[in-house]
């Protein structure tokens, strides 16, 4: 199988590939969650809490229940966590830890009536002290949330060599302290949405999702049903970017209301609710980075500390071949909306608050920042002496060479304060710094992994269909997987179709994101395609009376490599009954 990676491709880079979903979305043919049951479903209004920290003492839904068009009402006591805050066992009171948390919901015959009824719900709160500023939280020993054991949680991420000794011996040092990166909220074109319908004891849910298998598992568990009785469909989705993870709030609210009123219910958060209590937010981080180097720019010590409202450490220097590195992170619990993945998870924010330390050091050394980074970039040949293994698997210098060439860094960069033109002075009124900049990191994302389920069906007419368990996110994973299948089978891309977003048909596709979606699912698709090709090859070998090793599959047929005039079509090899194969993505580890 590994020989596939060394032959010239026939589909990849050769055929003009069109993304089928683009046409469906632009043409209005792809179904989104709220497109289900037009004219036949109810709509949801959501009551949210206006306080950053409080206790729910009492909820009165009597006025809402009497309003026109209202068919069902539910409160935090009925909807599972984290859609709404859950009380402790045996209690009815529940803690609100940030403004915008959902407290109750209403199903009504149109959106306006639902929103009006939600507003009529009366909630009694016990308002508590809160903190939203992380620096203030650092000063105060008061714990503002009972769902955490302590306001501060620190951990050491990396500790290599003797940082203190190396820093003391360094010829040049830099101590860089950043501001907090902005606390962004997801604001995708489609707010969190779901439609739910009960058919007997089976639940059907339509919802945009980046991880449909886990989403299905979580919804079934939350609603107290067997997962085999949950039909989860994720077709159209107006933007994922890390915000459509399997937390299921809209689905759980819709399912709870649908069960109470016996009708399909659609739940779509308003833009306000989405931006406060529904969507996740980018982690706000701050960094203190100290660097030590010689006068030639060889970094000998890195001492870096981050703090913020959760997240990960992302720093290009931690992937350098510096022998002495210490990094740590302090998580600060505050009363701000929940945080989570947001485009490259925490990569951009973490890099943004720490990477300028490189610029500070380059400026102090009077050195081109590119040259400094290049000199200290991790290389695939670097060996970690302590672990006796490669320190990195990314050819960072090769990447930087390519970026330098394409961007033309060496022709565009200049030292601060130089190359100031008359036009600069006219517009700026002074000689402020200007020019070009860069940053980089070695990302932990993009790795392939096993456990992805791709089901491949060969049809009697020689066409092929793929089922795999991902949602329709705004990237080309589905197309890429189909290209891999076409390439492996030796069939034109036009002969391959695919279905995504239906857990009742497919295996686990994992997280549909830039992190792993294409790579991991492509390995599973390759597994399935190789198994299918082997079946067709065996049939062709029997028909042509040659050994399988003498055959080649290309252009929808299998022929004798030494004599292409002797061939059979893929359709002939499949026969009158469809063939089914399955791929799990273990190929990489086996080879």
- Concatenating the DSSP letter of every residue in 349-367 gives HHHHHHTHHHHHHHHHHT-
Paired sense of beta strands 464-468 and 193-199, if any: unpaired
Compute, in degrees rounded to 10, the torsion defined by CA atoms 65, 67, 68, 70.
Answer: -30
Q: Encoding tokens for residue 312? A: 């990960």
Q: Encoding tokens for residue 161? A: 């060599």
Q: What is the pLDDT of residue 70?
A: 98
> Is the pLDDT at 272 greater than 90, yes or no?
no
Is the link from the previous residue into 82 a cis peptide, with omega within 30 of 0? yes
Compute, in degrees rounded to 10, the torsion defined by CA atoms 232, 237, 239, 242.
Answer: 10
> Is the pLDDT at 299 greater than 90, yes or no?
yes
Q: Which residues contact 210 (CB under 8 A, 6 or more apart)?
A: 237, 240, 242, 244, 245, 470, 471, 473, 511, 512, 513
Averaged pLDDT for residues 425-441: 66
The confidence band for 589, taking pLDDT boundaries of 50, 70 and 90, is very low
pTM for the full predicted model = 0.85
User: Could you give the residue ranges of the DSSP H alpha helices within 275-381?
Assistant: 347-354, 356-365, 369-376
> Is the pLDDT at 77 greater than 50, yes or no?
yes
Question: What's the CA gap between 283 and 445, in Å, rounded?
Answer: 18
> Is the pLDDT at 563 greater than 50, yes or no?
yes
Q: Give the tens place of pLDDT for each residue, 193-248.
A: 999 999 999 999 999 888 888 888 999 998 999 999 999 998 888 877 778 876 77
Averaged pLDDT for residues 48-53: 94
| 381 C-beta neighbours (distance < 10 Å), count | 11
Question: What's the CA gap between 194 and 223, in Å, rounded?
Answer: 15
Question: What's the CA gap between 48 and 84, in Å, rounded?
Answer: 9
Q: What is the pLDDT of residue 591?
A: 44
Q: Give CA separation, 89 vs 77, 86, 92, 93, 94, in Å.
A: 11, 9, 8, 10, 10
The confidence band for 384, taking pLDDT boundaries of 50, 70 and 90, is low
Paired sense of beta strands 42-48 and 265-268, if any: parallel
% of the chain beyond a pLDDT of 70: 85
User: Residue 114's beta-bridge partner residues?
Assistant: none
Question: What's the CA gap between 53 and 470, in Å, rounded?
Answer: 37
> Is the pLDDT at 391 greater than 70, yes or no?
no
Q: Which residues contact 559 (CB under 8 A, 6 or more apart)?
A: 551, 552, 565, 566, 567, 568
Averaged pLDDT for residues 167-173: 97
> Is the pLDDT at 332 greater than 60, yes or no?
yes
Q: What is the pLDDT of residue 9?
A: 79
Paired sense of beta strands 70-75 and 285-293, if any: unpaired
| 294 C-beta neighbours (distance < 10 Å), count | 13
Return the higher-pLDDT residue of 151 and 11: 11
Q: What is the pLDDT of residue 590?
A: 46
Q: Any idea what DSSP says for residue 262?
A: T
| 396 C-beta neighbours (distance < 10 Å), count | 23
Q: Give the tens place of pLDDT for each residue, 457-487.
A: 999 999 999 988 887 655 678 888 899 999 9
> Is the pLDDT at 305 greater than 70, yes or no?
yes
For the chain, the average pLDDT equals 84
Is there a contact between 255 and 223 (Cβ–Cβ < 8 Å)? yes
Q: Give the tens place of pLDDT for each residue, 484-506.
A: 999 999 999 999 998 888 877 77
> Is the pLDDT at 32 greater than 80, yes or no?
yes
Q: What is the pLDDT of residue 432?
A: 57
Q: Give CA separation, 99 vs 49, 278, 433, in Å.
A: 6, 11, 41
């Amino acid at each position: 199988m590994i020989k596939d990676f060394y032959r010239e491709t026939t589909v990849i880079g050769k055929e003009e590939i069109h993304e089928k979903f683009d046409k469906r979305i632009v043409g209005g043919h792809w179904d989104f969650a709220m497109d289900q049951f037009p004219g036949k479903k109810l709509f949801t209004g959501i009551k949210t809490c206006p306080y950053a920290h409080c206790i729910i003492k009492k909820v009165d839904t009597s006025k809402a229940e009497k309003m026109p068009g209202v068919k069902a009402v539910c409160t935090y006591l009925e909807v599972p966590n984290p859609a709404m805050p859950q009380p402790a066992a045996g209690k009815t009171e529940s803690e609100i830890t940030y403004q915008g948390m959902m407290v109750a919901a209403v199903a009504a015959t149109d959106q306006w009536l639902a929103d009006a009824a939600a507003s009529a719900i009366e909630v009694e709160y016990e308002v508590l002290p809160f903190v939203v500023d992380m620096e203030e939280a650092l000063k105060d020993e008061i714990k503002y949330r009972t769902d955490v054991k302590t306001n501060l949680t620190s951990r050491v991420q990396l500790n290599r060599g003797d940082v203190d000794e190396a820093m003391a011996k360094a010829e040049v040092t830099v101590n860089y302290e950043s501001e907090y990166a902005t606390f962004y909220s997801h604001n995708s074109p489609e707010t969190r949405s779901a439609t739910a319908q009960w058919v007997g004891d089976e639940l059907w849910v339509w919802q945009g999702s980046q991880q449909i298998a886990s989403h299905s598992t979580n919804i079934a568990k939350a609603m107290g049903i067997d997962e085999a009785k949950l039909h989860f469909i994720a077709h159209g989705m107006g933007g994922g970017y890390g915000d459509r993870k399997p937390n299921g709030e809209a689905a759980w609210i819709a399912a709870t209301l649908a069960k109470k009123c016996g009708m399909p219910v659609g739940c779509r958060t308003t833009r306000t609710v989405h931006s406060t209590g529904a969507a996740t937010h980018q982690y706000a981080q701050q960094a203190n980075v100290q660097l030590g180097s010689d006068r030639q720019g060889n970094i000998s010590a890195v001492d870096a500390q981050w703090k913020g409202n959760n997240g990960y450490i992302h720093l290009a220097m931690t992937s350098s071949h510096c022998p002495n590195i210490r990094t740590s992170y302090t998580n600060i619990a505050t009363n701000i909306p929940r945080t989570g993945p947001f485009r490259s998870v925490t990569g951009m924010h973490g890099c943004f608050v720490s990477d300028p330390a490189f610029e500070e050091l380059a400026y102090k050394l009077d050195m081109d920042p590119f040259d400094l980074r290049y000199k200290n970039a991790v290389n695939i040949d670097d060996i970690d002496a302590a672990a006796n293994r490669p320190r990195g698997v990314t050819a960072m210098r090769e990447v930087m060479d390519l970026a330098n060439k394409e961007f033309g860094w060496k022709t565009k960069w200049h030292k601060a304060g130089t190359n100031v033109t008359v036009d600069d002075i006219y517009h700026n009124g002074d000689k402020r710094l200007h020019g070009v900049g860069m940053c980089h990191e070695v990302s932990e994302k993009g790795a392939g992994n096993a456990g992805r389920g791709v089901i491949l069906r060969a049809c009697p007419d020689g066409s092929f269909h793929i089922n795999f368990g991902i949602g329709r996110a705004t990237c080309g994973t589905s197309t890429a997987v189909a290209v891999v299948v076409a390439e492996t089978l030796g069939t034109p891309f036009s002969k391959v179709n695919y279905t995504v977003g239906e857990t009742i048909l497919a295996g686990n596709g994992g997280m549909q994101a830039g992190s792993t979606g294409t790579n991991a699912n492509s390995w599973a698709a390759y597994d399935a395609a190789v198994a299918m090709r082997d079946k067709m090859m065996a049939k062709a070998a029997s028909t042509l009376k040659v050994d399988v090793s003498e055959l080649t599959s290309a252009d929808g047929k299998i022929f004798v490599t030494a004599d292409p005039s002797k061939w059979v079509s893929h359709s002939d090899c499949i026969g009158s009954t469809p063939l089914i194969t399955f791929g799990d993505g273990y190929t990489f580890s086996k080879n």
